Amino acid sequence: MTTSIRHIAKLAGTSVSSVSRVLNNSGYASPELRDRVEAAIRTLNYTPSKGARMLRGAPSRMIGLMLPSIEVPFFGILAHAIEQELFQQGYQTLICSTAENMDHEVRYISMLLAQRVDGVIVASAFGSTEHFGVLRDAHIPIIAIDRELSGIADDAVMADHEEGGRLMARHLIDLGHRAIAIVGAPAHSQPIQLRLQGITAEMAKDGIAPAIVAMAEEHSFAETYRLARELLASRPEVTAIIGTTDVSAIAAIHAVQDRGFSVPGDYSVVGFDDLPEAAYVFPRLTTVAQPIRDVGRQAARLLEALIDEHQTGDESRQGAIVKVPVTLIERDSTGRVRN
C-alpha cells in the first residue's frame, strides 16, 4: 500500500495540515511536532512526490548555480563551498557549467525555470544580461557572485578585485620594479577588468604604466604560458610579471624557468586567488588571497534570506553589493628588482 500523509498524520498523532507544514517547511510547527512527524516519516519510509509538491506550488528546495567553468580551480572551490552551505540548509544545488558560452547560459536558464528552482546564484561570463530577464520576470531571487549582474540582481557577493590589483602592483613597486608586465585571461571577465583597473591606478601613482598587457580569451594554463613566453622574448626590459590569476602566474613561472631564467632572481611573479596550488609550486607563489569559500558561503546565506523574504512577501530590503576584503600573501616568487 502506498504511504500517504494521512498515514503519517495518524502515526504522529496530528493533523494532515500539520504534516503538510512540516513537509513543505511552511508555517509554524513546534520542534516537538516536527520530531514526531519526522519520526513517522522514517518509520513509514515515506518519500514525497516532487511533482505533486511542485503542482501545489510548494518550494522546490532546489537552487541553481551558474558558473563559467568548474574546470577552473577557483570555480570548483566556489561551487563546493556553496553546495555544502545550501545542503546544510536543506537545499539541493543544480550546478550549471556554461563553458563561457552564451547559448549554454540561455539553455540552462530554461532548465532552471522548468525545475522551478527557489533561487539562483550566477557568475555570468558576459556583460550582457538580457537573457537573465526571464528569471527576474518569474520573480526568482537572484544573487550575483564574483561579479555584478547589473539590472538583474540587486545583490552581489565578490572579492574586492580592484583593491587586489592595487596590492599586486604596490608590492612589486615597493621591491623596486618599474618594468612590469601583465599576463592573464579571460579578457572579457569583469573581475579581471577590475583587477587591471587597480593595477594601472596604483602604478600611475608612481608615474609608470604596464610594460605590456597580454590577455587571452581562454582561461587556461596553456594559453597564458604561451603569452608569457612571447612577452619574455619580446620585452627584455621586463623584471616582474603580474598574473591576473594564480593559474596565469604559475604559467608565467614555468615560462621563465623553461627559458633558463629564475624566479625571483631574474623575474618576480605575483598572482591572484591563493589557490592551494600557489603553495605547492616552486618557488611558492606570492599572491593576493581572496577568501573563496567565504565568498561562496556568504552568497548562499544571502540567497537563503532573499528566498525567505520572497516567500513571506517581505521584499522591502534594498539590495547590497558585498565586497569581501583581500590580502597579499608574500611567499618566494617575488624579490628585489635585478641589477
Q: What is the pLDDT of residues 61-111, one digit of tens each?
A: 899 999 999 988 999 999 999 999 999 989 999 999 998 888 899 999 999
pLDDT above 90 as % of the chain: 63
Q: Which burial class, exposed, middle or buried, applies to 257 when counting CB atoms under 10 A from its CB (0-12, 13-18, 19+)?
A: middle
What are the pLDDT digits (tens) for 104-147?
Answer: 999 999 999 988 899 999 998 777 778 888 898 888 999 999 99
pLDDT of res. 163? 98
Q: Where are the beta strands (DSSP E) in the chain?
A: 62-67, 92-97, 119-122, 142-145, 155-159, 180-184, 212-215, 240-243, 268-273, 286-289, 321-324, 327-329
At 248, the pLDDT band (50, 70, 90 cuts) reads: very high
At 1, the pLDDT band (50, 70, 90 cuts) reads: low
Residue that is written with C-alpha cell 506550488 in the block: 57
pLDDT of res. 263? 98
Q: How many CA atoms lie within 13 A of 321 on its CB side?
A: 8
Which alpha helices (H) appear in 259-314, and where do they start and end?
292-312
Q: Determine the residue type at 332.
A: D
Q: Which burial class, exposed, middle or buried, applies to 50 when counting CB atoms under 10 A from its CB (0-12, 13-18, 19+)?
A: middle
At 319, the pLDDT band (50, 70, 90 cuts) reads: confident
pLDDT of res. 329? 98
pLDDT of res. 15? 86
Give one DSSP letter per residue of 54-66, joined into a string.
HHTT----EEEEE
pLDDT over threshold 90, residue 182: yes
pLDDT of res. 287? 98
pLDDT of res. 25? 62
